[in-house]
Amino acid sequence: MAFRVIPHQPIDEELRRVLKEEMTSAAEQLRLSAKGNGDEAIHEARKSVKKIRAVLRLLEGELGGVYDEKSIAFRQIGRTLSELRDAGAMVETFDGLRKRYANQVDGRVWTALRRILLRRKRETEKTVDTETVFRSFPDDLETMATQVDGWLQSRDTGFGMFAPGFEKAFRRGRRAMQKARKRPTPENFHEWRKRIKDHWYHVRLLTRVWGEMMEAYGGVLNDMQTWLGDDHNLFVLEQIVAGEEGVQDLLSVMKRHQEQLREQTFIAGARVYQTKPKQLGRIVKFLWNAPLEKAEVIGEL
C-alpha cells in the first residue's frame, strides 16, 4: 500500500501499518540489491528508512524511550546505506551538470572527472561491510516490523496523536529556513533540507485527507527538498574535484547553479512557511475530522 494513512481510521493502527510496510519493503530491497539489482534497490531501501525515521519523529512524544532506541538503530542503517548511495549520487549529479552545461566546460575535463568519480564509487563499495547491509539489515528490519505493535500505547487514536509531531516538524522547518537565510552555509542548507523532508513525508501520509490540494502542497515540498538535495550534492562534488586540473570553469558553473537552486527554494519556502504551525495544525485537524466531501472547503495553503 502507498505511504498514506486512511482518513477516519484509528491513526495508531494506520501508523503501525505504515511502519511495518516500509520496514518490510526496505528488507526486500536490500535482498534484491544483494542479488545484483544494485544502486536502484539501495536507493529504494534508503528512501524507506527515511520514511520510517520521519514517522518516528512524528510520534516522538508518544513513543517515549522507544523513540531514542529506534531512532539510533534506523539512523545507523541510514548512514551505512548513504555511504553506498552517495558515491553513486555524485556520478548522477555530475552527469546532470554535463548534460546541462556541456559546452561551458572542456570536454576532456568532463571525461577525466567522470573516470575519477566512477573509481571513487567502486572504492567506496569495496569498503562497506556488505555482509551487514545485505544480511543483517534485512533481518533486523523484519524483526523490528514484528515489534511495532508494542511501540504505540496511546489512548488517543485520532489526530491528537499526530498533531504535536506534525506541528513540531513544520516549526523546525521554519527555523531552519531562517537560519539558512541568516547564515547561508552548506551545513545550514542541508539541515533545512532534512526538516523540509520530514514535513513532506508527514504531508504525504495525509494526502488522502486533502486530495488534490494536499498533492499540490506536497509537490512544492518535494521540489524544495530536491533542489536542496542537488545543492548538497554540488557542495560534496566540489570537495571531490576542487584539486583536479582544469576545473575552474566547472566550479564556476556549479556555483551559479547552486545560487539558482537556493534562490528558488527561498521563494517557495516563503510561501510554505507563511502559515504558522498552530494554524496549520488546526487546518489539518479540521480536515481529518471533517466528512471527506467537505474537506475541499479549506483553501489556506
Which is nearest to 246 in space by CA: 95, 99, 106, 114? 106
Half-sphere exposure of 19 (CA within 13 A, CB side): 27
Residue 183 Ramachandran class (φ > 0 left, ψ -120 to 50 alpha, else beta): beta
Given a cut of 80, whether residue 293 has pLDDT beyond it is no
Nine-digit cell at 92? Answer: 548522477
The pLDDT-based confidence of 7 (bands split at 50, 70, 90) is confident
The answer to whether 179 and 112 are in contact (CB under 8 A) is: no
Question: Scanning the structure block, which residue is given the C-alpha cell 567522470?
Answer: 114
Query: Which pLDDT value is given to residue 296?
Result: 46
User: pLDDT digit string (tens) for 194-227?
Assistant: 999 999 999 999 887 776 777 889 999 999 999 9
Query: Which pLDDT value is given to residue 42?
Result: 84
Query: Which pLDDT value is given to residue 190?
Result: 96
Query: Which pLDDT value is given to residue 9?
Result: 80
Which is nearest to 265 in space by CA: 217, 218, 231? 231
The pLDDT-based confidence of 298 (bands split at 50, 70, 90) is very low
Report, as an integer, the average pLDDT of 37-54.
Answer: 87
Given a cut of 80, whether residue 134 has pLDDT beyond it is no
CA 13, CA 157: separation in Å to the nearest integer? 8
Task: Tell me the one-letter amino acid at 214.
Answer: M
* The dihedral sign for the CA sequence 169, 175, 178, 183: negative
Query: Which pLDDT value is given to residue 299?
Result: 40
The pLDDT-based confidence of 36 (bands split at 50, 70, 90) is low
Query: Which pLDDT value is given to residue 136?
Result: 87
Report, as an integer, the average pLDDT of 128-132.
Answer: 71
Please tell me the total number of residues recorded for the chain in this structure: 301
In this predicted structure, which of 156-170, 179-193, 246-260 has the lowest mean pLDDT? 156-170
Number of H helices, E strands in the chain: 13, 0
Query: Which pLDDT value is given to residue 65?
Result: 85
Report, as an integer, the average pLDDT of 149-169.
Answer: 81
Query: Which pLDDT value is given to residue 236?
Result: 94
Buried b (16+ CB within 10 A) or exposed e, 47-80: bbbbbbbbbbbbbbebbeebbeebbeebeebbeb
User: pLDDT digit string (tens) for 268-291?
Assistant: 999 999 999 999 888 888 877 775
106 secondary structure, DSSP code: -
CA 131, CA 34: separation in Å to the nearest integer? 9
Given a cut of 80, whether residue 152 has pLDDT beyond it is no
Does the pTM surpass 0.85? The reply is yes
Query: Which pLDDT value is given to residue 150?
Result: 87
Query: Which pLDDT value is given to residue 156?
Result: 66
Query: Which pLDDT value is given to residue 300?
Result: 42
The pLDDT-based confidence of 63 (bands split at 50, 70, 90) is confident
| Beta-carbon count within 10 A of 163 CB | 20
User: What mean pLDDT value characterizes the chain?
Assistant: 88
The answer to whether 202 and 176 are in contact (CB under 8 A) is: no
Report, as an integer, the average pLDDT of 35-57.
Answer: 86
